[in-house]
Every structure is written in structure tokens, then in C-alpha cells.
Chain A
Amino acid sequence: MRYLLRRSLHAVFLLLGVSLLTFLFSALAPGNYFDEMRLNPQISPETVAALRAQYQLDRPLPVRYAHWLNAVAHGQMGFSFAYNSPVAPLLWARARNTLLLTVTATLLAWLLALPLGVWSAARFGRAPDRVVSWTTATLLVIPDLVLALGLLIIAVRTGWFPTGGLTSVGFDELSPLNKLRDLAWHMTLPVIALILAALPTLVRHVRASVAEVLEAPFLRAALGHGLPHSKLLYGYALRAAANPLISLFGFSVGTLLSGSLLVEVVMSWPGLGPFLLEAILARDLYVVVGGVLLSMIFLVAGNLFADVLLYWADPRIRTAASAK
């Protein structure tokens, strides 16, 4: 239990650090949302000053940071200048869509990577393994931007997939089952783009760590005892190889979050990506800071989940933690 507590504390410090960092960046920023207003002759300088005071932009940085932290603690995350409303609900509406995409892609990518990697490792050095290696190597040299745009062009030219948005027109009139189908249909393309971008790294690591474990004497012994192959691979080898893979799982969340940001913009998926881009162009300070923090929260949650998994999967960590 102490292990998990320590990991959580670490996560909290990480979040505080990121929020401080983004705030420092924002302090270095030349210009802000109200600068353009100042150029507008119809708005008096007093109004601009009053607005700045209302959003507390005239206060020194530490005070603003403290205020903002307080707002975050109350689940509000500051105020959007452009939308004139608290940031948290705005962000949450978009973040849901991003989460939908990333969680689906993460799960599917791992569901594909595990059997593929194990299958390839069991045939290490032989033809099927080499086919997998070549395929992943090829995918690895195609950057995600290139991949996403390419998929989009294919979709547009064939008409197999919708090319943007979350749902079709008339979504509200559909039956629940059709709603789900419509959503899945819209999700397919971005999810494929995300999976293809993440898959090669995952497969390569699963393959490498399982192949390493397969050399171990205890598995040779188990093979000699005549255990069935599938049980050997999935019951014993994968379990023994799980440790680095679980850490990789934490990493893959971050990669997929970044990837999702780009894929959302390319495929006009109404998630955090287009929203943040818009906020950057409008200099909507708190939205950007909030968005970065939110992504960090997702990432930290993914890592904490990986830590819990590790605690569950690796007896060494459990005993080390309870021995203290």
C-alpha cells in the first residue's frame, strides 16, 4: 500500500510541477488576449483595464498562480476569455471525445500487439517473424502526420469512412443501437490512424521481451514437461515478460495522447486538439494551461494504472514494499 501511496504522491508533485511550468511560460508570453482590444478605438483604456482586473491579469504572477490553483482545487480551472465561461466544463466536453478516442486506441493497440508480438517471438528468426519485423519497420518510418493524411485521402476517395466529426446529421433521431454504430463508424478512421502509429513500437517491445524470456531455463524445462504451447506462451512467458511491458503501457498513453492531438486536427474530430489549437491562436491563456494540465492528468492516471498493474503482477515489488 505504501508503494501506491508513494506513486500517487509522486504523481501529485508531477502535476504541480507541470502547472508551475506552464504558468511560467505564460508569464514570459508577450501579449495577451486583451492586447487587440487595446488597439480598438471603440473600447476605452479603462474598460480594458477593468477587464484585465476582472480576470486578474494585473496581479503579479505568484498571486495569479495561487488563485488559479485554488480554482483548480474547486474544479474550475480558471476562466476562458474567448468563451467567457469557466474553462473546466468547456474542456471536459472536448476531453470526453479525446478520451473516447485514446482509450479505444490504447486498448485495441495492446490487444493487437500482445498476440502479434508473442506469435512473432515464438517464431523468432523464421519467416513469419521476419515478415512482422519488416512490417513494423516500415510502419515505423511513416510519421503519424503522413499516415493520418494518407488515410484521410483514402477515405475521401473511396467514401468508405466519414471524413470528420463525431456523428452524422440526424444523430438524435437514431435508435440507441444505431447511435452506437454511427459513432463507431465515425471513430474508425482516427482510431486506425492512432493504432497504426502506436503498433510498431508496441509489437517490437512485446516481441523483444518475450523472446528474451523464452531463452530462460524454466521455460525450457516447462517445454520438456510437455506443457501445451499456448499455455507456455501466454501463461508463463508473457507473465514473466510483463514487467517492462507494463511500464511501456504507461508510456504508450502519453504517445497516444500526443498522436490523438494531431489526428483530431487532421480528421476534424471535436476533441482537445482542435480546441487547444483555437485557444492558442486566440491567446486564450487559461484554456491552454488547462488543456495541458488535463492531458497531464490523463497521462498520470495512465501511469498510476500501470503502477497498480505492476504491483499486482510483480511479486517482487509487493514483497519489497511490505518489507519496508
Chain B
Amino acid sequence: MKQRRKLMIWLVILAVLHGIIAAAGFFAPYDPVEQDRERPYLPPMHIHMMDAQGHFHLRPFFYPLRLRDSLFDQYEEDTTTTVPIRFFERDAAYRLLGFVPSRLHFFGAAGARVYLLGSDAYGRDELSRILYGGQISLLAGLLGAGVTLFLGALIGMAAGYYGGWRDELLMRIAELFLALPWLYLLFALRAFLPLAVSPLEAFLLVVVVIGMVGWARPARLVRGVVLGVKERDFVRAARGFGASDFYLLRRHILPETASVLLTQAAILVPQFVLAEMTLSFLGLGVPEPMSSWGNLLATLQQYNVLVSYWWMYLPALAIVPFFLGYLSLASALQERAGAYKIEKGSWSSP
């Protein structure tokens, strides 16, 4: 019962986290590609309740930032005007979940733009870019995990069910994929795919590449389950009634692998989100102007950004709650399945 509750709690937390990213349009105050060339690298704004004269304001507000005299790049608060934060503000148009048109935002400000997490080189709102970038990164992770689990289940079932030389061959190849350091494998796969592509193609490429890297581990686990299940009485009985291979695999064997696949999914998704981040960070993944957690971090490769604009590091922290959620979910699932210890390598290589 306690395990079940733990599982539910983490599922709810993950659902909330994903919900926030999925509804990025609502939670982000601005359009992620809208530029404000007057305000590059604006530091995160301070939200006040008390103004410079010592008066208390019920509504949180901020002071618009202006360039300090004769200093490039140095901003200071303009304390002559207060701009209140307003909730459920109407601003930039967006489509909720990709199709419901709306202008409603969780918060915003009238008169001046609010940069809660600062702005980037083009004055784009960093918070909005992180929220929208999460959509790309999470989608890549989820789709990549989907591809991997599909391949893994297919190969694992084929190897376990048919056995013989097919099993031998498939498992040798799986060993090969397991042995390679995963980042090298990712590099090798990416190296031989086209470099100059449109953002959408690049996104699909990333999904395919990370999807093809990790199939070996689920395949081996699925194979183990299939080996046990295929000799069980209900499967033999069904075979005795003349069920075809395909029917047996789909109807009797696949459901038995569900718990293994579920646990693997919880382990693979955060790793693949990280894989997308890594590829995009290195410039091999999703390109600008699309934002993803990886390519948001790519600016940190410039030394001056690293030195002066620490808030460009914030996108990196966005993945941490997701990692926590997924890893806790995975260990809750494993506990439920009776395996207490966390398998080595499940963290280190997908």
C-alpha cells in the first residue's frame, strides 16, 4: 500500500511538471522568439513588495531596468516607476497544446516587459524560452524512448521466442551496443547523418538517433521475460489450440513484459532528454531559432557569456526536477516489481 502511494505521488508530480511544459504558452509570459534588441542580456528582475520609499504594495511589482549612464551592459533599476505584476494577463497570442488559440497568460505586466529569468543575446525572455524549449526536449526524450522500447520489445521478443541462432545473433549485437560508451555511439550515429537540415528534420533526426542507441538493454530484459513466459501453461495451451506465433506474442507474451517495459521507460525518458540536451548543446541537435534545453545552454560555450551572464545557466536546472521525478518513479516501479536494488548501468548508459 505504501509503495502504491509512493508511485501515485511521483506520477502526480510528473504529470504536473509535464503539464506546465505542455501548457508553456500559458505559463510563459511572452513568445519565445520575440526579440527585444534594446535589452540584450538583461539580468533576472527583482520582484518587490516594498518600494524605494518604504511603502508596502499588496501587488508584487518590479522596477523596469535601464542602462546605467555611460556603461554598456550594466543595468540598474529605475525606481521612479513601479510596474505591477498582473496575473491572467492578455498578451502575445499562442496556441495552447498546439491548437487552441489563446492570448491569456499566467502572468505579465502592462507598460514594460517582465524578465523573471533575464533575457538572452537578442533580448528574448529566458523563462519563455526555457518553457518552450522543454517541449522540444521532453518530446524528443519521450519519442526517443518510444522508439527504443518499440525496437527493444520487438527484438527481445523475437530473440526470446524463436531462440536458436536468431537469439544468438541478436544478443551478440545487443552486447555490442551495450559495450560501447553511449556518448561515442551517439556521436558515431550522428556523424553519419546529414548536418545541414531544417529544424524539424533535425528534431526527427535526434529522435531517431537517440531512439536507436538504447534498445539493447530493454531487448535483453524482454528476452528474459519471454524465455520464462513462453513455456508457461497458458501459452502452451493457446499454442495447442492452434494459435499463430503473432497471436501468441501479441496476446499472451507482450502483456507479461509490460512491467519491464514500464520500468525501462521511466529510466530511459530522462536519459534521452539528457541525450537531446547533449546533442543540441554540442550543435548536433535542434538548431536555433527553435529553443531546446540543450541549445539554450550552447551560448555558455562563449567565454564572455560564461563570465558575465550567469543566468544563461538556468536552463540546465530545468531538467533536474524531471530527473528526480523519473528516477524516483523508476525506483518505485522496481520496488513494486520486487527488485530492490537499482541495476547498475541503468543510470550510466541507456
Contacts and interface: CB of A to CB of B under 8 A. Distances in A.
Interface of A: 14, 17-18, 21-22, 25-26, 28-31, 140-143, 145-146, 149-150, 152-153, 156-157, 163, 201, 204-205, 208, 248, 251-252, 254-255, 257-259, 261-262, 265-266, 276-277, 279-281, 283, 288-289, 291-292, 295-296, 299-300
Contacts of B349: 254-255, 258
Interface of B: 172-173, 175-176, 179-185, 187-195, 274, 277-278, 281-284, 297, 300-301, 303, 306-307, 310, 313, 316-317, 319-320, 323-324, 327, 341-342, 344-345, 347-349
A31 B191 CA distance: 11
Contacts, number: 138
A26 B345 CA distance: 28
Contact of B297 (A140, A145, A251, A280): A145
B227 to A, nearest CB: 22
A141 B187 contact: no
A288 B181 contact: no
Contacts of B175: 14
Given A26-B191, A145-B316, A150-B313, 17 more contacts: A22-B188, A25-B189, A143-B323, A146-B316, A146-B319, A149-B297, A153-B310, A254-B180, A255-B348, A257-B181, A261-B181, A276-B184, A276-B187, A280-B190, A288-B188, A292-B184, A300-B179
Contacts of B306: 152-153, 156, 163
A149 B184 contact: no
Contact of A251 (B277, B317, B345): B345
Given A277-B282, A280-B187, A254 B192 contact: no
A141 B342 CA distance: 14
A31 B260 CA distance: 40
Given A14-B175, A281-B195, A143 B274 contact: yes
Majority-rule SS of B interface residues: helix
A134 to B, nearest CB: 13
Contacts of B319: 143, 146
A201 B348 contact: yes
Contacts of A17: 172-173, 176
Nearest to B317: A146
Contacts of B283: 277, 281
B297 A142 contact: no
A259 B184 CA distance: 10
